[in-house]
Amino acid sequence: MSTTPLIHVVDDDESLRTALLRLLGAAGFEARGYASAGDFLLQPPPDRPGCLLLDVRMPGPSGLDLQAALRRQGVALPVVFLTGYADVAASVRAMKAGAVDFLTKPIERAALFDALQRALARDAVQRAARDEAERLRACFALLTPRERAIFDGIVAGKLNKQIAEELEIAERTVKLHRAQLMAKLGITSTAELGRLAERLRHLSD
């Protein structure tokens, strides 16, 4: 899996699309162009960092439509809108839906790159968070049901003795499981375990 970010440029205007791809290429970005929202959806993007540079008005589904569709599909690529005519209603809608920026053509390259950098940064953060959560979920999946129960007990702030009583096992067994699950989750302290539990709860929301 490549870690170089890929910028997806969706614009029906071939001339503008070519120019944008040319500019991004010259600036060292890797970019790919699509003539319509449909074109983009038909080609599932490779699982790599990146962002979307979207024209608002296009024949067929608009940029806003594509943004909504991607959200529904759980594709979390950050979106930068680029429009020929900044109409307030469309920009508000786009920003509410989580767009990184709403730019108007013609666009200064500094502003464009800045927006794209922010989008990529957001993507990186999202991606890192997602990877961490994935890792945690994977670790958590390794726990046995007994270890999960003991984990819940620890998170609930109960003492080993209380957990043992509830599970009707020996306090010594609880201690053993506790060491086992901390090893599985790669943590060394109870405080760390608390933070992990917090994150897990967040993920499962």
By CB under 8 A, name the one of 104, 126, 162, 180 that touches other proteins. Answer: 104
Does residue number 22 form part of the binding site for other proteins (CB under 8 A)? yes
Alpha-carbon gap, residue 53 to 123, rounded angstroms: 13
**Tokens 């786009």 — which residue?**
94
By CB under 8 A, name the one of 7, 20, 31, 54 that touches other proteins. Answer: 20
Cα–Cα distances (Å) from 40 to 9, 14, 43, 95, in that order, read: 9, 15, 5, 21
Whole-number minimum distance, CB 8 to other proteins, in Å? 16
Alpha-carbon gap, residue 138 to 178, rounded angstroms: 18
Does residue number 35 form part of the binding site for other proteins (CB under 8 A)? no
What angle in degrees, to the nearest 10, is found between the helix axes of 190-204 and 145-155? 100
Are 19 and 33 spatial neighbours (Cβ–Cβ below 8 Å)? no
Segment near other proteins (CB under 8 A), from 11-19, 92-100, 159-167, 171-179? Answer: 11-19
Does residue number 32 form part of the binding site for other proteins (CB under 8 A)? no
- Give all strands of the β-sheet with 101-104 in edge-to-edge order: 30-34, 6-10, 50-55, 79-83, 101-104
Cα–Cα distances (Å) from 7 to 4, 79, 112, 117, 150, in that order, read: 10, 10, 12, 10, 45
Does residue number 186 form part of the binding site for other proteins (CB under 8 A)? no
- Nearer to other proteins among residue 25 and residue 98 (C-beta): 25
- Nearer to other proteins among residue 98 and residue 106 (C-beta): 106
- Nearer to other proteins among residue 26 and residue 191 (C-beta): 26
By CB under 8 A, name the one of 32, 93, 105, 175 that touches other proteins. Answer: 105
By CB under 8 A, name the one of 46, 59, 98, 186 that touches other proteins. Answer: 59
Pair of tokens at residue 77: 């690529």
Query: What is the Cα 4 distance to its own chain's centre?
Result: 16
By CB under 8 A, name the one of 1, 3, 26, 138 that touches other proteins. Answer: 26
Site string for other proteins, 71-100 (x = CB under 8 A): -----------xxxx-x-------------
Question: What residues make contact with other proteins under the rule CB under 8 A?
Answer: 13, 15-16, 18-20, 22-23, 25-27, 57-59, 82-85, 87, 104-109, 112
